[in-house]
Chain A
Amino acid sequence: MTRPQAIVLAAPGTNRDHDVSFALGLAGAEPRIVLLAELLANPAVLRDAQMLVVAGGFSYADALGAGRMWSLELAHNVGDALTGFVAEGKPVIGICNGFQVLTRTGLLPGALGHNQSGSFQCEWVRLEAPASRCVWTRDLPSLECPIAHGEGRYVHPDPDALAAAGQVALRYEGHNPNGSLDDIAGVCDESGVVLGLMPHPENHVLPRQHPRRARGTAGGLGLTLFERGVAYARER
């Protein structure tokens, strides 16, 4: 089977690019980390790719708010190439800082504010995928993975309309860690190919990575989410 080429985009301060590359490799893609400067110098690298990942981290140290600087760079320099990628129906995922970036570029609805606790939190959460337009979460069983963020509280002016449009892709199940509106953990764009989420499914791609594995109460692998995206990129 062909391995779709996935570009993992990394800006200065991105730090989960290697984790998500490892996950994509396991899920059957051919990941390649592309530094932001390389993309800005040569936006054509997007043409050969079938998938795009905006990876997590602290791009530009969260200066002026998480994701702000990176989204400015993207929107002002390669905005057309990005919207073209999406218009072709190629799957895009933004994780954590990548989610923050995609909301600020306008590719995804809503915004991400400071956690209700006022500080960075690292803990495991359970996610469920309601019926939605999102190609990454179609028939996705519930999964467990960590969050690691300080600005992950999802806000949106009209969450009911968002849900009605099929754009709520993931919800926190059981425990909402950051005060996100309506327990929203991830949303997609109107076409369903762009997903943004705060949690890190890339850190639960092996059973050994689950904290309760030895207790026999480990939940679903985050790997499944990447497998859905890879399958979509392959079959599209």
Chain B
Amino acid sequence: MRLTIRSKGEDPRAGALLADAHALGLTHVTAIDVADVVFFADELHGDHVAELETVLVDPLLQTGSWSVPLEGIETSLLPGVTDPAATAVQLAMATVGLPDVPVATGKHYVVHGPVSAVEQQSLARRLLANQVIERWAHAPIEPHFIDAHATADRTVDHVAIRDLDDDALMALSRERGLSLDLAELHAIAEHYRGVGREPTDVELETLAQTWSEHCSHKTFRARITAVDDDGTEVGEITPLLRQLRDSTDAINAPYVVSSFVGNAGIVSWVPGITLAVKAETHNHPSAIEPFGGSNTGVGGVIRDVMGAAHHPIAVTDILCFGPTDLPADQLPEGVLHPRLIESGVIAGVADYGNKIGLPNIAGAVLYDPGYVANPLVYAGCIGVASAAEPLPGPQPGDLVVVMGGRTGRDGLRGATFSSATMDATTGDVAGASVQIGDPIVEKLVIDAMAECHGLYTAVTDCGAGGLSSAVGEMAEGVGAEVDVTLAPLKYPGLRPWEIWLSEAQERMVFAVPPAQWPAMLAVCARHGVEATSLGTFTGDGVLRVRAGDLNVLELDTHFLHDGRPQRSMVATLPHPFRGLGTPPICADPAATLRELLAHPNIASKERVVRRYDHEIRGATVVRPLVGAEHDGHADGVVVAEPSDTHGFAVGIGVNPWFGLHDPERMAHAVVDEAVRNVVAVGADPDRAVLLDNFSWGDPRRPSTLGELAMAVQGCCHAAHRYGAPFVSGKDSLNNEYLGSDGQRHAVPPTLVITAMAHVPDADCTVTPDLRAAGNVLLQVGHTSVDFAGSHFELLYGTEGHGTVPAPLLDPLTRYRALHVAIREGRVQSCHDLSEGGLAVAVAEMAIAGRLGVRIGSLPHANPTAALFSETNGRFVVEVTPADLEWFVQNVPDTSVIGTVTDDGMVTFPGWSVSVADLVDAFTGSAS
């Protein structure tokens, strides 16, 4: 039997569904009704039915119906997909004393308007059901209930690999989705010839996961040969990861506690306190199931910080989408519309962060046609800990403990999936790779971990590769023996390799001395968190996995972690234009300014930011939205605990359009942007650290690898120049789509730099909103003719007007002087110059402060360059007339450009626009 629950009045989901249907080209749909359905496997008798209805239906808000509808479209979850709503119904039934019956949930839709049957089906397929996790049917749908009596198939297969020839090896890799190359397959075959047997399926899958691009960073560790355009070898490039590590070692910053080891970078600016910081990508999963993909991306990066034994305190997100107004007929086959990806991804990020109770403090949203088939989702997390002795690592005899969520078939083979190219069938075949998040479980694990200090010797998160990666990593050098059948399961019937490789979320693995195990169990019981011992760390360096009595895996951990042959790769280096440019002509700068402010990349992101809780914990001192009407974007954000006088700032740098022209200069520019953003809000430029996140195309194409290599080189030089070491990073490669036309479409080179820096005085921060008429505006920094990849160029398609901005020779002197000015309270407001240049920066300050501006003198002889060029290292600063002399004398490269007014106009030499018009353009409220 089934209960359909409808909202009284319009359901809040209906409006969005209708807009989405229109965006898919079905403009004659007039309304879509939506209702929730709860299915019960067994009949309930009368009293129970009435009681159940009072539990599930709120009479002030909803109506319930037990009749079976014969019209409409219904969806339900595919078998194996976690159904938290069904679990909640069962819990509620148990609470009020109703019988325990299997429950499933689904949705009921009715589409209104002159819509044909074919169009109904199209809507069901493309909008109402995400076929990666749901199926649809004409009402009434028959749901799938979990089979609580399935029996496990505890078999293990041996895979013949020792005697295969090259073709057969590659065929094996393809058939099993291993994403291994020939050299790696040879290494495995060779190893098993030495062992004297064939590998088990569990061993082969474990090796594929551990050796995947996602887990082992083959490209960043590869030996790279640089070649000329004609193929002549011109030199060797130091492995990319080593370059980044070497640059951090060379900077030798005293506040870096740990970099490029473990799950996150760790810094300490205040004695006794450390901060862990990490950013990750979750691109492929978000492309096929936007909500689940971004949701678990956030959950995963939070676990990275927990895996560094830090308590999470904030999250960040950077999102890249295709144009949301893309005509439906231009959508590649098998790809979700950017509008649906955008709404799903944002909802997923919001859901996880809001529910787990972490403020989402910083981010960016970018739009470009290059992201239509491959959206990018970067999620970051920051955590705090009392500085203590580092964890010693697993000791022989310690228990292998898994804590948190249960194991199901979620996300099988996620690591190898994320290392492959997508095509039109990806959504169909990769369904099992999608993970489902449960932020409340992760919240409980965080709470439990906060009380487990001293009870464990090592911890790591279960991410890509599941237990195979987590236990495999921890067992490196020490060895472990586990029985996978001891792992708590969501439902029975999983095979050993499925348990071992499942990417079910919200699980952490600990090494626990047996003497501490009862104490840890007591903490977990108090918080309602499951913790289970699967085995022990042994000390013999061998990883052994059993399923009951059956041995399913025995691997030397040295071979598992060091047996992969170093990849040899070839790069052709780019030849970016580095000459002098002439500025483009701008006939109507006022119109250009309005167009820039309305550009999706520059326009207000308030509708996104408001979906995220940035207030929880009461520590977000500079919020992402600031100013008189809380609708201006801050450059960076500042977090300071309510009980502290100091804090830290976070800034983001990203500019793929620079990357298309000149990847090396892009790297400099985005490092500058990230550092600029934290300095602009009041952080100390001498206490900054960086994270790198590369999302790139297939590096096996030499030109793509060459662009990546130049970006890494730019990062390292920039880190050195800013004295800001990289402490952690992650690369996501193969962000390509193989179109049905046979063409490969790669994302633009997208390097996201996250800067985090110490804010010595949390009461001394600055935002970009103008404060008072009569104050003086200055530009700090020089302007050059830099239009390559600029938003002016993006708007008008005028190429060839200058370069991507060159690296600054001495940014630190400038930034230190500005920091002193901020610390001394001499800066009223400050905004960095980025996309759209000076004109956009001034307009954004006027919008945020709801004040006018009169610019009297432009900082470049050519007005177009002065207004719209995107040179690095520049700020607009508002000072009082009394501070002007001090500022000009003490901050280098400063020029007075104008004054703040209260006439409601932004006036440049020769033209002006009203602040109200600029607000309309920026917020999209213009009619």
Contact = CB atoms under 8 A, between A and B. Distances in A.
A203 B615 contact: yes
A121 B642 contact: no
B355 A111 contact: no
A209 B610 contact: no
B187 interface: no
B769 A215 contact: yes
A111 B61 contact: yes
Contacts of A16: 357, 616
Given A19-B617, A200-B615, A113 B61 contact: yes
A143 B55 CA distance: 36
A154 B251 CA distance: 56
Interface in A187-206: 200, 202-206
Contact of B440 (A12, A18, A38, A110): A12
A118 B12 contact: yes
Interface in B594-642: 609-618, 621, 623, 625-628, 630, 640, 642
Interface string A45-84: 0000000000001101111110011001100110000000
A138 interface: no
A35 B527 contact: yes
Contacts of A146: 615
B45 interface: no
B611 A76 contact: no
B61 A64 contact: no
Given A64-B92, A205-B642, A58 B440 contact: yes
Contacts of B642: 22, 205-206, 208-209
Contacts, number: 153
B84 interface: yes
Contact of B618 (A12, A57, A113, A203): A203
Contacts of B611: 119-122
B84 A61 contact: yes
A121 B612 CA distance: 7
A122 B618 contact: no
Contact of B13 (A18, A118, A204): A118
A15 interface: yes
B58 A37 contact: no
Interface string A114-144: 1111111111100000000000000000000
Contacts of A214: 765-767
A208 B764 CA distance: 10
A111 B628 contact: no
A211 B630 contact: yes
A35 B354 contact: no
B528 A12 contact: yes
A76 B55 CA distance: 11
B18 to A, nearest CB: 11
A214 B609 CA distance: 21
A119 B611 CA distance: 7
Interface residues of A, number: 57
A76 B88 CA distance: 16
B618 A72 contact: no
Given A13-B355, A72-B96, A111 B60 contact: yes
Nearest to A19: B618
Nearest to A119: B611
A189 B407 CA distance: 45
Contacts of A114: 7, 11-12
A39 interface: no
Contact of B55 (A22, A72, A117, A156): A72
A64 B88 contact: yes
B16 interface: yes
Contacts of A63: 84-85, 87-89, 91
A124 B95 CA distance: 37
B630 A121 contact: no
Contact of B615 (A68, A69, A122): A122
A68 B92 contact: yes
B526 interface: yes
Contacts of A163: none
B844 to A, nearest CB: 16
Given A19-B617, A202-B618, A215-B771, A60 B444 contact: no
A171 interface: no
A86 B55 CA distance: 24
Scoring A13, A68, A204 by chain B CB atoms within 10 A of each residue's CB, the highest score goes to A13
B16 A118 contact: yes
Contacts of A69: 88, 91-92, 95
Contact of A64 (B89, B610, B630, B769): B89
Contacts of B95: 69, 72-73, 76-77
B615 A13 contact: no
A203 B616 contact: yes
Contacts of A62: 355
A122 B609 CA distance: 8
A155 interface: yes
Interface string B351-367: 00011110000000000
Contacts of B621: 208-209
B480 to A, nearest CB: 31
Given A12-B528, A60-B440, A215-B771, A122 B96 contact: no
B610 A121 contact: yes
Interface in A86-121: 104, 110-111, 113-121
B89 A58 contact: no
B458 interface: no
A75 to B, nearest CB: 9
11 contacts: A57-B357, A60-B440, A61-B355, A104-B58, A120-B350, A120-B354, A120-B611, A122-B611, A123-B630, A148-B613, A148-B615
Given A64-B55, A208-B621, 8 more contacts: A12-B443, A22-B618, A61-B355, A65-B61, A72-B95, A113-B61, A206-B642, A209-B618
Interface of B: 7, 9, 11-13, 15-16, 55-56, 58, 60-61, 84-85, 87-89, 91-92, 95-97, 347, 350, 354-357, 438-440, 443-444, 526-528, 609-618, 621, 623, 625-628, 630, 640, 642-643, 762-763, 765-767, 769, 771
Interface of A: 12-13, 15-16, 18-19, 22, 35, 37-38, 57-58, 60-65, 68-69, 72-73, 76-77, 104, 110-111, 113-124, 146, 148, 155-157, 200, 202-206, 208-209, 211-212, 214-215, 217
